[in-house]
């Protein structure tokens, strides 16, 4: 790996608390390797198995699945430092539920999971602790999405999402990490319908927003929009 790539990896929570020298030791002894992808390149296909997890070093990727009616649905947006395929790599019989594409020219560090259990590297314990923290965060993120999507109405889905963001940010005004298309994918709804419902909620004085910045203006006695 090139020196600038090591510097980028320090942005990943997977390598939190590792020094520059420890990170180099880890990459050397873990069998990790980098691979570059052109825009549109397939990193892993739906239905494939893998024994290694990926860390996005640079670029941007998207995980997509194909619905029953043939539509491609974005289910994950991967930014530099993000980890993907970690849970998949832990089970040699598991199949990927998504296809991961490179949205831009991208570099991925692949780490064979089995090597993490060998004890060959002195930092493996801290690496595994960081990995467990990431897996825990993903679990709660999936729980949050399931809670939002399970609401019977579009307004209920939006309200659940915005209140979840309010709890996370600790303020009635906050910036969400998703644009409108990504939010529609997250809530499993039509983008145009989402925009219409947001406009209606603003017209009713429930929320205000500008691009990705939202403010909750009114809640009922049960704390709902």
* Average pLDDT over every residue of 43-69: 89
Residue predicted with more confidence, 73 or 76: 76
Pick the residue with more confidence: 119 or 187?
A: 187
If you average pLDDT over every residue of the chain, what do you get? 88
Using only the alpha carbons of the chain, give its radius of gyration.
Answer: 20
pLDDT at 9: 85
| Per-residue confidence (pLDDT) for residue 223, from 0 to 100 | 47
Top pLDDT among 66 and 158 is at 158
Using an 8 Å Cβ cutoff, are 65 and 97 in contact? yes
CA distances from 127 to 25, 74, 111, 112, 124 (A): 12, 29, 11, 13, 5
| CA 34 to centroid of chain Cα atoms | 20
Span between the terminal Cα atoms of the chain, in Å: 50
At 117 the pLDDT is 72
List of residues 6+ apart from 111 with CB closer than 8 A: 30, 31, 32, 52, 53, 54, 55
Which residues touch 110 (CB under 8 Å, ≥6 apart)?
32, 33, 34, 35, 52, 53, 54
CATH number of 3-145: 2.60.120.10
| Tokens of residue 133, six digits | 């923290």
CA dist 100 and 83 (Å) reads: 12
- Predicted local confidence at residue 66, as pLDDT: 76
| pTM score | 0.72
pLDDT of residue 179: 93
Distance of CA 31 to the CA centre of its chain: 25
> Do 34 and 1 form a contact (C-beta atoms < 8 A)?
yes
Residue-range domain boundaries for the chain: 3-145, 151-216
Confidence check: pLDDT of 69 > 70: no
Q: What pLDDT, on the 0 to 100 scale, is given for residue 123?
A: 80
pLDDT above 70 (res 1): no
**Residue 74 pLDDT > 90, yes or no?**
no
Answer whether 199's CB lies under 8 Å from 209's CB.
Answer: no
Q: Residue 205 and residue 225: Cα distance in Å, rounded?
A: 10
* Helix ranges restricted to H, 108-153: 124-149
| Over residues 153-160, mean pLDDT | 96
At 79-127, the pLDDT tens digits run 999 999 998 998 878 899 899 999 999 999 999 988 877 665 668 778 8
Q: Quick check: 169 pLDDT over 50? A: yes
> Tokens 């549109």 — which residue?
40
pLDDT for the residue 221: 44
Q: Does the CA dihedral 215-220-223-225 come out positive or negative?
A: negative
Name the pLDDT band for 197 (thresholds 50, 70, 90).
very high
The fold for domain 151-216 equals Arc Repressor Mutant, subunit A (1.10.10)
């Amino acid at each position: 790996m090139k020196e600038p790539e090591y510097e980028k990896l320090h942005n990943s929570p997977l390598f939190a608390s590792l020094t520059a020298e420890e990170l180099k030791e880890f990459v050397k002894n873990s069998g990790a390797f980098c691979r570059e992808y052109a825009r549109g390149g397939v990193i892993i296909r739906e239905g494939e198995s893998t024994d290694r997890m990926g860390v996005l070093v640079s670029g941007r990727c998207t995980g997509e699945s194909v619905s029953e009616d043939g539509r491609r649905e974005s289910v994950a947006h991967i930014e530099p430092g993000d980890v993907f395929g970690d849970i998949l790599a832990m089970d040699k019989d598991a199949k990927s539920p998504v296809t991961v594409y490179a949205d831009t020219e991208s570099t991925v560090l692949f780490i064979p999971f089995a090597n993490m259990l060998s004890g060959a590297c002195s930092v493996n314990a801290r690496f595994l602790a960081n990995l467990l923290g990431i897996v825990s965060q993903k679990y709660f993120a999936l729980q949050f999405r399931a809670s939002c999507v399970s609401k019977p109405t579009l307004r209920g889905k939006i309200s659940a999402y915005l209140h979840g963001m309010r709890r996370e940010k600790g303020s009635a005004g906050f910036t969400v990490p998703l644009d409108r298309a990504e939010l529609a994918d997250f809530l499993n709804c039509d983008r145009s319908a989402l925009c219409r419902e947001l406009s209606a909620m603003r017209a009713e004085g429930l929320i205000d927003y500008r691009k990705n910045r939202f403010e909750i203006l009114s809640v009922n006695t049960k704390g709902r929009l």
